Amino acid sequence: MKRLIFTVMAVGLLIACGGGSTDTMRRLQQAEDVVEEHPDSAAGLLSQVVTTGMTEEETALYGLLWTMAEFKKHNKDVNDSLVSRSIDYFDHHGDKRHRALAYYYRGAVRHYAMHRLPEAIKDLKMAEGLSEGLDDWQLKSKIDEQLAFTNYYSQNAALAVKYSQKFLRDAKMLNDSTMVVRAHQTVAGSYELLDVTDSAFVYLLRGLQWIDGANELARRDIMAAVADMYKQQKDYLRAEQYLKDEVLSASNKVSGYVTLADIRMAQGKMDEAESLYQSLLQEEEHPQYRMQVCSHLAQLYEKRGDYERAYAMRLRHDEISDSLVKANDSQRMAQWQQQYDEERQAKEFYRRTSWMLGLIIALAVLVALSIAVGTWWHRRKVRRLSFRLDEDARRISELRTKIELLEKSGAENGQEIARLKEELEKPHGANIGYAAGGHTDVQPVAAAPVHRRGHSQGAAVPGGLFRPTAPEALAGVGAQVQRPLHRAVHLPHYAG
């Protein structure tokens, strides 16, 4: 019974833990869906999450979403502690998109809230490299825009132009009017940093063509920038036409108020201009903007002839500038970014060509193997053909020997045949001559003595035949002689 109760409690605990984890992940996913457009709502959802007992994945996602929401709410107290822990997790377990987002927002926080530009640029470069393999133009546009800003504030004009142009390309890909307006303004600011004011003014006028579809903040910013460009051309009337109340009431009002103060100073309204500058100096905390206001105040005091205060503003400007130079080291950051890009391009080139290199190596191995197999097969075939040739040569030699022997034997047989022919032809020719009444002095073949029946015995003629004594004797015995002549060699011994 106790075992059953323990089992039921364990199962209930597991279900409770599983349900809690599921609820936590559900709230995190809801916050992720709304954090881009509604950071306040996302912050509210995150506040309902119980952070104790979260898994490593949930902790990493929570840290990223909390940093995103606080940054978008313009919270000046936001730091990089939570998102750094998120990066530690995403570097080993997360997907590319969450990893790129984490690096991007840590770079943005380090730039705007912590003013650590070198570290911010490194994070943003990491985010840029990770975003290359993603089909997420929204994320790419964020990264390119932030890199343009960081390089602009660190006085790297060439890189600012490069990334602002990339940002403009991303905005047009997304067909987002607000983003396109911001991108044109960013490009114009980068060209102004290069002292190419004509190009800057052209991009600002192009950006004005998109303001109908842009949000209020983008419209205010670009109108303030256009007013500043007209102010630089000393067209103060047209400049003030763009400095409307809504432009001056924008959250980022430095550009508009500095432009308006500059116009007042150019018009000789020094007190009004000083008041505007001093209010900006007290309200603005960003070092770049404070340095800009100090420079304008120094010019104002010089025009007034108050060189002591002008010198004090110059010193303040230089202090801010020196602190930024020490903190930023723009040249070193530019070199580091170039080196990083070269290394990343080299890695990307190697990654893209590694399969080709592998294919070439495989083909080389295949060719070498084919050559080896072909060589072995060729040698084996040559050996077999050589053996056959040797066999054929041996057989040919034997046949030649046999032919020579046969030819020699044939010559001997021919001589023997010729001799036998001669032997056969000699008696045959003699008998013919004897029977035809030719020469009677031909010596006959030796034979035994023959005794004619009915004649007296006389002396036998050597050769076994009686030699006639007169030609007339042939007349009576011609017929009798011709028949035995045909087989003269085979006559038996005749008994008397």
∠ CA 125-127-133, nearest 5°, is 115
**What are 384's two structure tokens?**
């077999």
CA 496/CA 488 separation, integer angstroms: 19
Q: Which pLDDT belongs to residue 470?
A: 43
Reduced to 3 states, what is the DSSP secondary structure of residue 408?
helix
Q: Is the pLDDT of residue 135 over 70?
A: yes
pLDDT confidence of residue 133: 81
Q: How confident is the model at residue 348 (pLDDT cuts 50, 70, 90)?
A: low
Give the integer Cα–Cα distance in Å for 145 and 149: 6
CATH architecture assigned to 215-325: Alpha Horseshoe (1.25)
Residue with more model confidence, 91 or 385: 91
What per-residue confidence (pLDDT) applies to 412?
A: 77
Q: What is the mean pLDDT of residues 436-450?
A: 44
Kindly state the average pLDDT of the residues 419-436.
61
Poorest-confidence range of 89-98, 123-132, 295-304, 391-400? 391-400
pLDDT at 434 over 50: no
Is pLDDT above 90 for 1?
no
The amino acid sitting at 199 is S
pLDDT reported for residue 453: 42
List the structure tokens of 72.
Answer: 């978008």
Instruction: Give the residue among 299, 278, 306, 272 at the shortest CA–CA distance from 290.
Output: 278
Residue 9: pLDDT over 60: no
pLDDT given for residue 277 in this prediction: 87
Task: Give the C-alpha distances (Å, rounded to integers) separating 10 from 2, 19, 23, 54, 484.
Answer: 12, 14, 20, 19, 145
Q: What pLDDT is recorded for position 467? A: 44
**Domain definitions of the chain by residue range:** 1-105, 215-325
| Residue recorded with tokens 């600002």 | 204
Asked if residue 57 lies in contact with residue 65, where contact means CB atoms within 8 angstroms, the answer is: no
Q: Residue 249: is its pLDDT beyond 50?
A: yes
How high is the mean pLDDT of the chain?
78
Q: Decide if pLDDT at 356 tops 60.
A: yes
Give the model's confidence band at 385: pLDDT under 50 very low, under 70 low, under 90 confident, else very high: confident
- Burial class from Cβ neighbours inside 10 Å (0-12, 13-18, 19+) for residue 222 reads buried
Question: Between residues 466 and 253, which one has the greater pLDDT?
Answer: 253
Place of tokens 């650590």: 116
Q: What is the model's pLDDT at position 19?
A: 44
Instruction: State phi, psi for 350 to the nearest 5 degrees.
Output: -65, -40
What value does the mean pLDDT take over residues 209-225?
Answer: 89
pLDDT of residue 182: 94
- Number of residues that this document lists for the chain: 496
Q: Residue 467 burial (CB < 10 Å; 0-12/13-18/19+)? A: exposed
pLDDT at 437: 47
Question: What confidence tens digit (pLDDT) does each residue in 447-471 have?
Answer: 444 444 444 444 444 444 444 444 4
Buried-state track 275-306, b at ≥16 Cβ within 10 A, e below 16: ebbeebbeebeebbbbbbbbbbbbbbbeeeee
pLDDT score of 87? 95
Position 199 scores a pLDDT of 94
What's the pLDDT tens digit per position in 54-103? 999 999 999 999 999 999 988 778 889 999 999 999 999 878 999 999 99
433 has a pLDDT exceeding 80: no
Residue 476 has pLDDT above 70, yes or no: no
Burial state string for 77-93 with b = 16 or more CB within 10 A and e = fewer than 16: ebebebbebbbebbeee
Find the mean pLDDT for residues 23-44.
91
Query: Is residue 69 exposed (0-12), middle (13-18) or buried (19+ Cβ within 10 Å)?
Result: buried
Residue 223 above 50 pLDDT? Answer: yes
